[in-house]
Structure formats: C-alpha cells, structure tokens
C-alpha cells in the first residue's frame, strides 16, 4: 500500500511539474489538438485513434484529451480538465478554432468549386495513366529506394506517410502507409505558403498587381514601412519584427494561429528590426498578411476573394481535393492550412516544372517560376519567394536547381527542372530524423543522366 501511495504521489508531482511548465501554453496545446483533430477527422474521414496516435501524437500535444461531436462536426480538447478549446468544421472552408471574446462567427461564404472531370489521365485528369515504360528509369531500383523511405513494421523513425515520383507526366513510383491512399488529403502545413505566392504570380500575369510596387497599406502610410513592397514580403525580407518559434514564450506564431480571429492582421502592427532587403527572416505572419488584407484589397467582394484561389489555380489544374482553410474572419490561412491528396500536391509541383503552362493554358508567366526560385538576399541560397531552394547546397548531393514547398513535420514537394522530376513526400518526421538529402540523391540515381 505504501509503495502504491508513493507511486501515486510521484505521478501527482510529475503532473504538477508538467502543468507548471506548460500552464501558460495550455490553450495552445488544447487549441492545436482541437484544430488538428477537427480538420483531420472531418476532412480525411480517418479514425480518431489514427489521429491521436499520428497527427497529435507528439509531446505535449498528446497529453490533450479530445471529444468529438460528429453531429455538430466539432472537436473539443482539454488538458487535465483545463483550458478547453473547441474547433468546428465548415464545408468548403475546413475547420476553425473558436476564439474567446471574438464576435466573429465560423459561418462564412464558401468558395464556388468546379470539379468537372476532364476525361483525361493524370496529371490533367483523374483517369488511369497510359502504360508507359521509360528506358532511362531503373524501376526495380526505384521501387527499392521508395520502399526504404518508409519504416519497417513496428518502427517509428522516418514516419513517412506517402511518396510519389512523377517523370514526364507519369507517376513512376507511388507508395502509402496503411490507412492512407491516393484519395487521402494531406495537410501541407507551410507548403501552403507556396500556393499563396502562386496567387500573386497569377495576379501579376493577369495585370492586376505589380509585385515591385509598395503595398499601399493604410497602417503604414505615415512611417518608413510605406517603403515595403510585395516583393519584400514574398521574399520574407521586409525587415519587420517577428518571432517564428512555436515553443518560445515570446512567439508571434502561436498567438496568431491559436488566438487570432483575423490572422492576416498579425504582422501589420510590427515595427522594423532592419531595413527591407537587408535581413531575411522566415515569418508565417508575413504570408498571412499577403493572403489576407493585401490580397483582399484586390477583389470587390469576399466571394470573389474566396473563389479566385480555386477558379484560377486549384480547380483549374485539377487539384479538386484541395482545401485552404479560413480563419474566423473568412481569411485564407495561407501560411499553414492547405490540404490536398499526394497526387494533387504533385500537380502543383508539375505546374512549376512546366513554367506555369497547364495543358496549353498559361496560368502564370514563365518568368514567375524563375522568380520564386531566385534566392532572397541574405538567405544564403535557401529561400526564394515562399519556396525553399537548394541554390546554396543545403542538400549537397542533389541538383542546385531544386526548389520546393516545405512544411512542418516533413512535408515536401520537390521540383527538379534539370531532371524533369517532381517528388512528393508527406509524413510526421523532418530532418535529421528523415534524411532528405539521401532521399533526393537515391531517387535521382534511378534515372539515367540523359533523362
């Protein structure tokens, strides 16, 4: 009995320590658990147990207890009975986390979608591919390489969920873990930033914006921030203050994602930490400023704003599974919350491989693909316009012309112009637990140099 009491006392002490350390972050923990669970349950039709062991299965988020209301299509989460948060799902808009004291309602206009089938094979439609064999592809080796990107049964190191390799418009390799498949939407996290950038490329191609122009933002008109251009923001080189750290006590990102009812305004009030184009700094607040008030100003109505992302990009290239979630203000969370199947993420990569030309229609100017892959000043060749680059040799054994959409926990769409390849990988582990350089080197080695 004494031994049992000692064990119980130890457990209580440990719980006390955990609560003490994380009390100020409890609402972030429960907010993330509620939001992630609501999105995954109602958008992917996966089981609650799958989501609890995967999507929110990392410390300390896995301490949260979630309660699913399928009738209301909502998820509530609490930690030791404290700081309950609730997220609700809206058809066409995804899930949204409710914010205390906000007068904004989760209901909003929904984007109009056109999912009409084209009757064409991938990538221009969803019909089966032609049975094409390329002599320059070592299919046996490629199969072994892709298989090795997944964990053996019972292990959780690489935590890969899906891998897709596209060459000459053909899927030459594709694999999923159990419980996932070609129809399963995958959260891209910050891969969504590249979609936001592409919306600006389309607007520029249509003559509706000049990215070299200053933003004209009303809040900045009376100080030096009026010098900031769309280009500075796209390259994350505006010089504005921001702390992009989910676990820091002074984080700007977590208040935005888990306490703001209008995420697009989160960076508006920030001051300079340096001059524009002098200090690259990764900022989700910058992307949401681009996706929110700056972009909304280009449309006559909320409905036009919502529709544009789909009519001019996502549905136009057949990314019919894609959903960009909105916040309580009806603003697309362009920094973080884009969902699509692995095949549809590959279509997005192919659009860039084809320099914006989709089955004969120019979605954005060919120069835009070069623009996004041009290194931002002071980024050491790692970043372009909301795309990550290999110009500085971050992946030493991979081509330097690679550019990619990257997301939290190791989501990737790699565009490799010199080899005509698009590689998509989704999962729950990033570098160094998942060796990206080795993946790129090994996959590319399956294609002869003449390819």
pLDDT value for 45: 85
pLDDT value for 402: 98
- Other beta carbons within 10 angstroms of residue 362's beta carbon come to 12
Give Dmax over CA atoms of the chain in angstroms: 78
**Whether the predicted pLDDT of 249 surpasses 90:** no
pLDDT value for 3: 65
Confidence class for position 244, pLDDT limits 50, 70, 90: very high
Which long-range CB contacts under 8 A does 144-147 form with residues at least 24 apart? 145/442, 145/443, 145/445, 145/446, 146/173, 146/175, 146/443, 147/175
pLDDT value for 126: 87
C-alpha–C-alpha distance, residues 396 and 431, integer Å: 14
pLDDT value for 131: 82
> What phi and psi, each to the nearest 5 degrees, are found at residue 182?
-60, -20
**Whether the predicted pLDDT of 298 surpasses 60:** yes
pLDDT tens-place string over residues 202-242: 999 999 999 999 999 999 999 999 999 999 999 999 999 99
C-alpha–C-alpha distance, residues 146 and 205, integer Å: 37
Average pLDDT score over the chain: 94
pLDDT value for 132: 86
C-alpha–C-alpha distance, residues 27 and 348, integer Å: 34
C-alpha–C-alpha distance, residues 211 and 201, integer Å: 9
**Whether the predicted pLDDT of 171 surpasses 90:** yes
Strand partners, 185: 341
DSSP state of 130: P
Strand partners, 364: none
The CATH number of domain 185-225+308-444, selected from 1.20.1630.10, 3.40.390.10, 3.90.10.10, 3.40.710.10: 3.40.710.10
C-alpha–C-alpha distance, residues 371 and 90, integer Å: 35
Instruction: Dump the DSSP string for 66-85.
Output: EEEETTTTEEEEEETTEEEE
Count Cα atoms within 13 angstroms, Cβ side, for 8: 5
C-alpha–C-alpha distance, residues 67 and 77, integer Å: 6
Among candidates 251, 247, 289, which has minimal Cα distance to 267? 289
pLDDT tens-place string over residues 100-113: 999 998 987 999 99
Query: How does strand 411-416 pair with strand 185-187?
Result: unpaired
pLDDT tens-place string over residues 1-56: 666 666 565 666 555 555 555 555 899 999 999 999 999 999 998 999 999 999 99
Confidence class for position 388, pLDDT limits 50, 70, 90: very high
Residues 29, 22 contacting (CB under 8 angstroms): yes
Among candidates 336, 429, 374, 442, which has minimal Cα distance to 382? 374
C-alpha–C-alpha distance, residues 182 and 193, integer Å: 23
Residues 378, 384, 389, 392, Cα dihedral to 10°: -20
**Whether the predicted pLDDT of 130 surpasses 70:** yes
pLDDT value for 23: 57
pLDDT value for 12: 61
C-alpha–C-alpha distance, residues 343 and 426, integer Å: 11
Taking the domains of the chain in order of start, what are their residue ranges? 2-97, 185-225+308-444
pLDDT value for 13: 58
pLDDT tens-place string over residues 370-379: 999 999 999 9
């Amino acid at each position: 009995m004494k031994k049992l009491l000692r064990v119980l006392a130890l457990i209580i002490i440990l719980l006390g320590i955990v609560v003490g350390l994380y009390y100020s972050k409890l609402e972030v923990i429960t907010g993330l658990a509620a939001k992630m669970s609501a999105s995954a349950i109602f958008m992917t039709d996966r089981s609650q147990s799958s989501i609890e062991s995967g999507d929110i299965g990392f410390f300390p988020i896995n301490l949260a207890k979630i309660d699913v209301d399928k009738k209301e299509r909502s998820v509530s989460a609490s930690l030791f009975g404290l700081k309950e948060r609730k997220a609700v799902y809206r058809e066409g808009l995804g899930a949204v986390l409710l914010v205390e004291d906000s007068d904004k309602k989760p209901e909003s206009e929904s984007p109009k979608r056109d999912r009409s089938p084209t009757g064409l094979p991938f990538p221009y439609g969803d019909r089966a591919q032609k049975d094409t064999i390329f002599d320059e592809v070592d299919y046996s080796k490629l199969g072994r390489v892709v298989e090795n990107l997944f964990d053996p049964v019972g292990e959780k190191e690489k935590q890969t969920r899906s891998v897709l390799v596209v060459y000459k418009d053909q899927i030459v390799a594709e694999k999923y873990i159990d419980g996932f498949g070609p129809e399963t939407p995958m959260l891209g996290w910050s891969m969504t930033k590249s979609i936001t950038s592409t919306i600006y490329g389309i607007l520029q191609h249509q003559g509706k914006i000049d990215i070299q122009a200053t933003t004209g933002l009303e809040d900045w008109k009376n100080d030096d921030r009026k010098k900031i251009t769309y280009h500075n923001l796209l390259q994350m080189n505006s010089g504005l203050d921001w702390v992009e750290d989910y676990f820091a006590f002074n984080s700007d990102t977590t208040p935005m994602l888990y306490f703001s009812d209008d995420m697009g305004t989160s960076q508006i009030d920030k001051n300079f930490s340096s001059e524009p184009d002098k200090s690259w700094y990764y900022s989700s607040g910058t992307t949401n400023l681009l996706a929110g008030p700056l972009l909304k100003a280009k449309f006559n109505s909320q409905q036009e704003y919502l529709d544009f992302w789909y009519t001019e990009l996502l549905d136009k290239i057949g990314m019919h599974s894609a959903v960009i979630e909105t916040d309580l203000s009806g603003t697309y969370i362009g920094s973080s919350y884009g969902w699509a199947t692995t095949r549809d993420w590959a279509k997005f990569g192919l659009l860039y491989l084809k320099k914006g030309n989709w089955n004969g229609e120019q979605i954005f100017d060919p120069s835009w693909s070069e623009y996004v892959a041009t290194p931002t000043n002071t980024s050491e060749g790692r970043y372009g316009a909301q795309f990550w680059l290999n110009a500085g040799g971050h992946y030493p054994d991979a081509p330097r012309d690679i550019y990619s959409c990257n997301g939290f926990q190791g989501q990737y769409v790699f565009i490799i112009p010199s080899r005509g390849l698009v590689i998509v990988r989704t999962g729950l582990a990033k570098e160094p637990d998942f060796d990206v350089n080795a993946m790129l080197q090994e996959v590319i080695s399956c294609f002869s140099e003449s390819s």
